């Protein structure tokens, strides 16, 4: 643990240096200024039983929203606090979704001890796999119940390496693992984690299903589509752009909506330059638009809109599969939209499941994507089968928030009858 703590401290120093030039690093650092005073102020205003849900960023927060809704209904006397590690989650949090949100402190013994002592949670829940070892140690030393929801574990994760036995020991002290898939439970058991492990599913499915039931209506998007086939490109990175931009001309009767993963001016301007041959329009120009139906490419340079756009899409390409890992493919699937993505999807079991069902395809080259798109766009029956497979997948996996909430309620009952359980040095 000594090397781990040293690494955490060096990470904090690196963020401090990066904050000189990086707005994101600066937001990370400023969000943690006078943090203990903020914790004290919040806790004094919110006494009583407390559930803290930790989401690394926006994606993980989406996974636990249905759990928050369930807990509010079943345990209205409890307070719910969301902790984030990344500024992207904090910036998208909406007041009222829980009782508050905070930044998680740097994972050192002193900071995490103060965090637990001041807030005094009754239940702490990690979402997916953003675990902080010193924080877990401090929680367990104070008999706080600790759980994981939408957990996802693979054999190659670092805490399963032979040299990480001390980290695995800390991880093993968690009281309950509620996982994304059955394979995650198998991996934990193979590594002798004895805590109860139950597959309750991915909470994000609840969220996207709810949004798909009543998507926002966008007259501008209907005007842009104008009866044509629509392909939505969600959150592409540069390698994704390299894949799909060359084939836009190959589909003369198809229009393309592109929602870049970053909407800053420099990023969008660069993308607009790459698309210049197609005379693209952008969302921020809507008030000047005369006839969107004459346009072939539309760049969505805003956030909070993409999920509802999939309702009118015939096909979707989701970015990230050539870099850090794919973005949400549940969003298009919830609308019955067949989806393509790059090969880096191993951390997302829903990708494998949708491929197996015939609702999604992995592509590795422009020619591969061109062939698959041509096949689906020209064959309405095949596209209908893929759409039905996507909807069936979403319907079968709904309810993770309720299932997770029920298991966490049982954990609270057990922990209040006696000590929370496994302690670690």
What's the rounded Cα separation, in Å, for the pair 240 and 236?
5
Sequential DSSP letters for 111-131: HHHHHHHHH--SEEEEETT--
Q: Say if CB 207 and CB 226 are below 8 A apart.
A: no
pLDDT for res 289: 62
CB atoms within 10 A of CB 344: 17
Which pair of structure tokens corresponds to residue 421?
A: 């359980």
pLDDT for res 34: 83
Beta strands in 260-299 (DSSP E): 281-282, 297-299
| Burial class of 249 by CB neighbour count within 10 A (0 to 12, 13 to 18, 19+) | exposed
Domains of the chain: 28-201+399-417 (3.40.50.11720), 212-396 (3.40.50.2000)
Q: Say if CB 174 and CB 153 are below 8 A apart.
A: no
pLDDT for res 4: 77
Q: How many residues belong to the chain?
A: 425
pLDDT for res 1: 66
What's the rounded Cα separation, in Å, for the pair 149 and 171?
14
Catalogue the long-range contacts made by 264-273 (C-beta closer than 8 Å, 24 or more residues apart): 268/299, 268/301, 271/241, 271/299, 272/299
What pLDDT tens digit does each residue of the chain (425 aa) get? Answer: 667 777 777 777 777 777 777 777 777 677 777 889 999 999 999 999 999 999 888 778 888 889 999 999 999 999 999 998 877 667 667 767 899 989 899 889 999 999 999 999 999 999 988 899 999 999 999 999 999 999 989 888 888 998 888 889 999 999 999 998 899 999 999 999 989 999 999 888 998 998 899 899 999 999 999 999 999 999 999 999 999 999 999 999 999 999 998 888 899 999 999 999 999 999 988 877 668 898 999 999 998 899 999 999 999 999 999 998 899 999 999 999 999 999 999 888 899 999 999 999 999 999 999 999 999 999 999 999 999 999 999 999 999 999 999 999 999 988 776 544 444 44
Which pair of structure tokens corresponds to residue 351?
A: 């990708």
Which pair of structure tokens corresponds to residue 185?
A: 């439970």
Q: How many CA atoms lie within 13 A of 269 on its CB side?
A: 3
What's the rounded Cα separation, in Å, for the pair 9 and 12?
5
What's the rounded Cα separation, in Å, for the pair 63 and 151?
10
Helix axes 400-417, 203-213, angle to 10 degrees: 140
pLDDT for res 421: 43
Task: Measure CA of the first residue to CA of the last residue in the chain; give whole Å.
Answer: 11
pLDDT for res 423: 41
| Burial class of 205 by CB neighbour count within 10 A (0 to 12, 13 to 18, 19+) | buried
């Amino acid at each position: 643990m000594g090397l781990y703590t040293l690494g955490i401290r060096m990470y904090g120093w690196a963020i401090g240096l990066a904050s000189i030039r990086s707005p994101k690093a600066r937001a990370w650092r400023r969000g943690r200024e006078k943090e203990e005073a903020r914790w004290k102020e919040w806790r004094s205003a919110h006494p009583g039983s407390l559930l803290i849900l930790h989401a690394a960023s926006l994606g993980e927060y989406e996974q636990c929203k249905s759990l928050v809704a369930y807990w509010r209904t079943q345990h209205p006397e409890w307070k719910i606090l969301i902790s984030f590690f990344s500024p992207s989650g904090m910036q998208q949090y909406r007041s009222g979704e829980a009782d508050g949100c905070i930044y998680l402190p740097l994972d050192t013994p002193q900071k995490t001890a103060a965090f637990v002592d001041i807030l005094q949670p009754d239940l702490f829940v990690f979402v997916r796999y953003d675990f902080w070892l010193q924080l877990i140690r401090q929680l367990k030393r104070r008999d706080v119940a600790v759980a994981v929801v939408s957990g996802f574990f693979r054999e190659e994760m670092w805490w399963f390496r032979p040299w990480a036995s001390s980290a695995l020991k800390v991880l093993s002290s968690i009281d309950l693992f509620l996982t994304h898939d059955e394979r995650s439970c198998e991996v934990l058991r193979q590594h002798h984690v004895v805590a109860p492990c139950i597959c309750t599913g991915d909470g994000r499915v609840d969220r996207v299903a709810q949004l798909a039931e009543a998507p926002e209506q966008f007259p501008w998007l209907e005007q842009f589509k104008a009866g044509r086939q629509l392909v939505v490109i969600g959150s592409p990175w540069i390698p994704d752009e390299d894949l799909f931009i060359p084939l836009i001309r190959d589909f003369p009767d198809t229009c393309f909506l592109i929602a870049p993963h970053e909407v800053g001016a420099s990023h969008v301007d660069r993308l607009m330059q790459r698309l210049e041959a197609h005379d693209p329009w952008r969302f921020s120009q809507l008030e000047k638009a005369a006839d969107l139906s004459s346009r072939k490419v539309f760049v969505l340079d805003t956030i909070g809109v993409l999920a509802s756009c999939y309702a009118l899409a015939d096909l979707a390409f989701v970015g990230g599969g050539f870099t850090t890992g794919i973005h949400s493919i549940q969003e298009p699937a919830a609308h019955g939209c067949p989806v393509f993505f790059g090969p880096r999807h191993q951390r997302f079991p829903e990708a494998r499941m949708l491929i197996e069902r015939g609702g999604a395809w992995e592509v590795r080259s422009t020619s591969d994507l061109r062939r698959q798109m041509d096949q689906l766009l020209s064959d309405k029956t095949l596209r209908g089968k893929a759409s039905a497979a996507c909807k069936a997948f979403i319907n079968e996996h709904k309810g993770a928030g309720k299932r997770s909430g029920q298991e966490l309620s049982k954990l609270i009952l057990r922990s209040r009858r006696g000590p929370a359980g496994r302690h670690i040095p």
